[in-house]
Amino acid sequence: MLSQLDGRRKGQVVRFLFEAELIKGNTPQLYLGGSIVGPALEDDKIASRSDLTGVDLQHLFLIKLNLTRVYLESVNFRYSILDEANFIGTNLGKADFTGARLKGANLSFANLKGAIFNNANLRETKGLKQKQLDEACGNDKTLLPGKLSITSCHADYQPHQPR
């Protein structure tokens, strides 16, 4: 994945990981295939006004993550736990949330154009409006708050294109 990014974006990913305290000491170890627990990603402001387009954050526990006004287009959040995450004003266009849980996450003013929510749990999200969901898609297993609804994704729709 990193080999496909240009130098600027690689630098942004490394800065993100460093600020999240996922790179420490003389022998950095990255745990990007499972859960990340501890103060590094709990109740911590990770980035603001950063561009993390296309980053792969699938199968992670990212609890209370603050990603206000971050550019996260085409990010892969498949099967991640994003409870109480703060996505206020964040660009989540074409992001893939298939199977993700967003319990208590704040999606106020987030751009969800082209985002995929198949099998996602959005039932207890905050700030989510029908207008946002009208630009996204999901399926009959997508859990939504209140009387909100979501359009079904086309079978051939794929948000992630190789770079």
Burial of 19 (0-12, 13-18, 19+ CB in 10 A): middle
> pTM of the prediction?
0.69
The beta-strand segments (E) located in 4-161 are 137-138, 151-152
**Is 90 exceeded by the pLDDT of residue 144?**
yes
Could you tell me the domains of the chain?
1-158 (2.160.20)
Give the Cβ contact number of residue 154 at 10 Å. Answer: 8
Yes or no: say if 46 and 26 are a contact pair by the CB < 8 Å rule. no
DSSP 135: T
CA distance 68 to 105: 12
Place 91 in a pLDDT band, splitting at 50, 70 and 90.
Answer: very high
Burial of 119 (0-12, 13-18, 19+ CB in 10 A): middle
Q: What is the pLDDT of residue 54?
A: 85
SS3 146: coil
pLDDT tens for 42-56 read 444 454 456 778 888
Residue 126 sits at φ, ψ, to 5 deg, of -115, 145
pLDDT tens for 30-84 read 333 333 333 334 444 454 456 778 888 888 878 888 888 888 899 999 999 999 8
Give the Cβ contact number of residue 89 at 10 Å. Answer: 17
Query: Which amino acid belongs to residue 26?
Result: N
DSSP 2: G
Average pLDDT, the chain: 77
Mean pLDDT of 23-27: 44
Q: Of 43, 49, 83, whose CA–CA distance to 66 is shortest?
A: 43
